Amino acid sequence: MTILVTGGAGFIGSNFVYYELNKHPEDRVVCLDALTYAGNLESLEEAMKNPQFRFVRGDITDRAAVEKLFEEERPEIVVNFAAESHVDRSVEDPGLFIRTNVLGTQTMMDASRKYGVKRYHQVSTDEVYGDLPLDRPDLFFTEETHLHTSSPYSASKAGADLLVLAYARTFGLPVSITRCSNNYGPYHFPEKLIPLMITRALADESLPVYGNGLNVRDWLYVEDHCAAIDLVMRRGREGEVYNVGGHNERTNLDVVKTVLRELGKPESLITYVKDRPGHDRRYAIDPTKIHNELGWLPETTFDEGIHRTVQWYLDHQDWWKHILAGEYQNYYEHMYGNR
């Protein structure tokens, strides 16, 4: 079977490519990725050596290129990871998020219809549900929670989700959607909280915590997310949404302190900076459905996952130093310079 993975040179996509090649060595994995700032061929170096893997550079909004690839590969399963994924960047340039996340999803689904794929799987996010109050620990996002977005990023992901469900109902496209909480692990671009804090702490630089640091995220080790997607795209019910999360809620401050402890660095590196506009307070997933229907449970505890992640960044300094040496410096200055 051939699986087409879009966005496979990004954080979760590259982890997913390795997960599939290891777990299902009989399947072929084709990666379509535009190699934006977030895409990195160094993350796929090992995969490139595997004859079951093919990398194709291309944009998911480029209809002709997408159709040409479907014509060549005739994938049975399409998994759409490709997206603009960073909330802060969506505040700077909402249009790019609409283009990639909504129009790109439409293009991938049109091709999936035309070539009759067995499953189109959309990788979505818990951010489509908006946020929960900090003083109601009894509340969780279920698949029935209303969509209620806060940022251009989450609105573009919710728009894509609605389009996916519309293609299922109107055209009978066999779809599924997973909505996952915050991931962390290897190959995570250092604009996001955990890798940003690891790489800056290693250089003894200040650690910019937004607002009072008490916003809560529900952290999941990336491999557990990959396992969930693999189960849903192969065995999940058609037309269904599955929430994915590990009941692992932490304040941002708690996460940053854990990283510092793991690195043996002082908490005095923490600095409080101006808050993100529209900053979601708390995310918390109820994963009962995927557990009951598909037996999925997270396998990696936060302590173990953070330990492995920090070790990965220590062992792969070239990977992130190459990123930090490029356009990233302008990004950091622009976003944090006057904060």
The correct pick among 4, 5, 18, 59 for binding ligand NAD (CB under 6 A) is 59
- Closest approach of Cβ 336 to ligand NAD, in Å? 19
Q: Catalytic annotation on 127?
A: yes
Task: Retrieve residue 194's tokens.
Answer: 């955990």
Binding mask 115-154 for ligand NAD (x = CB under 6 A): --------x-x-----------------------------
Binding mask 63-102 for ligand NAD (x = CB under 6 A): ------------------xxx-x--------------x--
Residue whose Cβ sits closest to ligand DAU = 125
If the CB atoms of residues 54 and 248 are measured against ligand DAU, the closer one turns out to be: 248
Q: Catalytic annotation on 153?
A: yes
Q: Catalytic annotation on 331?
A: no
- Phi then psi for 87, rounded to 5 degrees? -55, -45
- Closest approach of Cβ 148 to ligand NAD, in Å? 17
- Among 153, 184, 221, 313, the active-site one is 153
If the CB atoms of residues 58 and 208 are measured against ligand NAD, the closer one turns out to be: 58
- Among 20, 33, 59, 127, the active-site one is 127
The correct pick among 60, 155, 173, 290 for binding ligand NAD (CB under 6 A) is 60
Site residues (vs ligand DAU, CB under 6 A): 85-87, 125-127, 181-182, 192-193, 196, 208-210, 215, 217, 252, 276, 283
Residue range at the interface with ligand NAD (CB under 6 A); choices 30-38, 105-113, 168-176, 230-238: 30-38
Other CB atoms within a 10 A radius of the CB of residue 150 amount to 19
Contact residues for ligand NAD, defined by CB under 6 A = 6-7, 9-13, 33-36, 38-39, 59-61, 81-83, 85, 100, 104, 123, 125, 157, 180, 182-183, 189
